[in-house]
Structure 1
Amino acid sequence: MVQGTTLLLIDRPGNQLDHLVGAFAPEGLDVGYGDPYAPRSVVLPPSPGQAAQILADRYLPSYEQAIHAHQNADIATALGYIRSEHRTWQTLSASGRFSDATPLSAAAFGTSTQMFLDHAWHRFLVVIDHAPTLLDRCRPDRSPWPDDAAALSHLADAVADAKALVDEIRSGQVSEAERRNRSWLAIKTWLTDGEVFLRQVRVSAPHRRPSLPVTAPPRPPAAGRATHRGP
């Protein structure tokens, strides 16, 4: 198991000694089969030491990098949708009319606001799921933008508040009106500083792991030479 994911080992087609290994059910790669971020399977030789080194040096780093890229892309997509829908709502609010120029009543505006907040919250659940792990990897002091530290702190606080809100919703302690008000505070923070997060995550992707030492199997003595047995 690797980060909750079962590795699938199969015989390599057309080869009696080598094997192929890949993630059978990749945790963190929600799309599964066909996910563009999923790492490719790798060929493992029959030597256990060499196979372990290939897993440690190639497959596991590729797997971690794939999850990192996938989660970052999911957050970027969610924030993009929320930002687009927010602009639409702002246009509606400023004009006081629907897109077909029909006047917007107070009741209709209230309904459209609730719909926007509900859709935004649904999108934001992706951020709540993925952001904590990615935020932990960010090191703004080692990046070209050390001043991003304050914004990242605000984003982390907003996610923590949103996670607490999720728990309260599940326990039935929050009304719909309160959920909309509190969730919007967290979402608004991410709309403000989301680009800071995305650029920090891009430069904080996991790196390749150091190579594992490979223990070579003992070599048999050369033909025709005596083997030293000691005194």
Structure 2
Amino acid sequence: MPTPSAEIILTTSHTLGLVAITHGEKYPQANQALEEAGFSRLSNGAFVSPLTDPQAARHTASALVHHAHEHGATITTSSRPYLGDIGTEIAAKLPGTWSAELEIYSHPLWQEDLWPMLWEAGAIYRALEEGRIPFASVLKNSTGTGLLLIERPGHRSGYLLGALTDREQEDPHDDPTTPRSIVLPADPGLAAHAIAHTFLPAYRRALHNQDLNTVLRSLDRIREEHQTLQAIKDSGRYSDGMPLSDSRLIVGMERDFADHAWLSYREVLEHSPVLLARCRPTATPWPQDAAALTRLREALANSQGAWNEWNDMRHELYSIPRTLPAHEWRQVRGQLGLAVLPAIETWLADSEAFERQARAAVPGGPAALSAPSPRLLTARPTPPPSPRAAIR
């Protein structure tokens, strides 16, 4: 059944009275009908009319029917309470400080703005893919966690909750760390309990595993290029067997390696500190890893100067209307990579201990040890040196 080109959804709010939300490709016509019927528009795009005076409310309802017909808009009455109220009530019952804001996607294309932010591959993903989401409540807390609350499609009650993220991500279907949406009951108190005790713990585990896999992928990229460079240095030959024509070429290869290594090591510097902070080797079957974790923390501390320099430089360049030429950026990255090379080598040497300790430290307690998240990276044989072009 095609979506009406101009539709008005009516619901009620215990504080606002009658609430109307428009959607459809010709939603401005529905907006005009509401304005002519005497509704007031809120900053979030919803229209409201008080219900305190029964006679005035009947007059407004009659006027709305007339003006909606005049502008070709369809009226639908929802059996659910106003989602803006539900979001606010749930947020008030969650642990910590949360806020809720209703977002309206009147034009069908507007809901596509959710795609880059949605970290979810379950029911909300399908609802967005297959149908219309005219509005949603976005819940946020003081630490930056974002959750998307929508009415459960195809049901007269209940809600769906999924995670939002501002991180760059791949297809959530291909990411084993993606948190799944959950069905929430209609009661705000029960819904908040399910979020606090079921969804948020799973969300924290997903963040932990995403950070961990990001670090491991970064180290894997560095390790492959490091092994390729080392094989060429040890043999004096390219991977195709051709001898190096000039030993000075090694200097250029080392500089290129440092450039590429820095690009990946930045992710280690960004995501590993919080992972290391959760590690408790004495509570795992591998207490001997404590020494390796100490070395990794020292490596991070020794990299802090380069990390600060990089961030200061990026901030400075973004604040003025110019950027460095590409070759100068490569030179900067190469210098920073050479500066942290001992720290990078420490991370490569102790990555196995880091991985097993970080996997054991997944938020959730002992259960995390018995049921770890899927591994993206596992121990593997040393890869053969890449072709000469890999050194770039």
TM-score range, shorter chain: 0.7 to 0.9
Q: Cα distance, 1:178 vs. partner?
A: 4.9
Q: Which has the higher contact order (CA 8 A, sep 6+)?
A: 1
Q: Which residue of 1 aligns with 2:353?
A: 196
Query: Alpha carbons of 1:10 and 1:177: their partners in 2 closer, same or farther (altered >3 Å)?
Result: closer
Q: How does 1:152-191 map to 2 (within 5 A)?
A: 152-171=293-312, 178-191=335-348
Query: Alpha carbons of 1:60 and 1:203: their partners in 2 closer, same or farther (altered >3 Å)?
Result: same
| Paired residue type of 1:101 | G
Q: Which residue of 2 aligns with 1:141?
A: 282
| Paired residue type of 2:183 | V
Q: How does 1:2-41 map to 2 (within 5 A)?
A: 2=141, 3-24=143-164, 26-27=165-166, 30-31=168-169, 34=172, 35-41=175-181
Q: Secondary structure at 1:106's aligned position in 2?
A: coil
Query: Alpha carbons of 1:75 and 1:145: their partners in 2 closer, same or farther (altered >3 Å)?
Result: same
Aligned: 1:84 with 2:213: no
TM-score (norm 1): 0.81
User: Take 1:32 and 1:170, find their aligned partners in 2: how far apart are those partners?
Assistant: 25
Q: Secondary structure at 1:16's aligned position in 2?
A: coil
Assess if the C-alpha contact under 8 Å between 2:262 and 2:333 holds in 1: no
TM-score (norm 2): 0.49
In structure 1, runs of 5+ residues without a counterpart are 209-231
| Paired residue type of 1:30 | E
Q: Secondary structure at 2:162's aligned position in 1?
A: strand
User: Take 1:36 and 1:175, find their aligned partners in 2: how far apart are those partners?
Assistant: 35
Q: Deviations over 1:64-120 (max 9, x none)?
A: 011111111111111112111111111100111112333211231111111112111
Q: Which residue of 1 aligns with 2:362?
A: 205
Q: Which has the higher strand share?
A: 2
Q: Secondary structure at 1:148's aligned position in 2?
A: helix
Q: How does 1:115-134 map to 2 (within 5 A)?
A: 115-134=256-275
Q: Deviations over 1:167-217 (max 9, x none)?
A: 124446x96675233210110110111111100011110017xxxxxxxxx
Q: Which has the higher helix share?
A: 1
Q: Which residue of 1 aligns with 2:192?
A: 52
Q: Which residue of 2 aligns with 1:219?
A: none
Q: Deviations over 1:132-158 (max 9, x none)?
A: 010010001111111211211110121
Q: Which residue of 1 aligns with 2:233?
A: 93
Q: Secondary structure at 1:21's aligned position in 2?
A: strand
Q: Deviations over 1:28-79 (max 9, x none)?
A: x531652432211111111122101110111101100111111111111111
Q: Aligned pair count?
A: 205
Q: Which residue of 1 aligns with 2:292?
A: 151
Q: Cα distance, 1:161 vs. partner?
A: 2.3
In structure 2, runs of 5+ residues without a counterpart are 1-139, 314-330, 366-392
Q: Which residue of 2 aligns with 1:223?
A: none
| Paired residue type of 1:156 | R
User: Take 1:176 and 1:70, find their aligned partners in 2: how far apart are those partners?
Assistant: 25
Query: Alpha carbons of 1:83 and 1:32: their partners in 2 closer, same or farther (altered >3 Å)?
Result: closer
Q: Secondary structure at 1:102's aligned position in 2?
A: coil
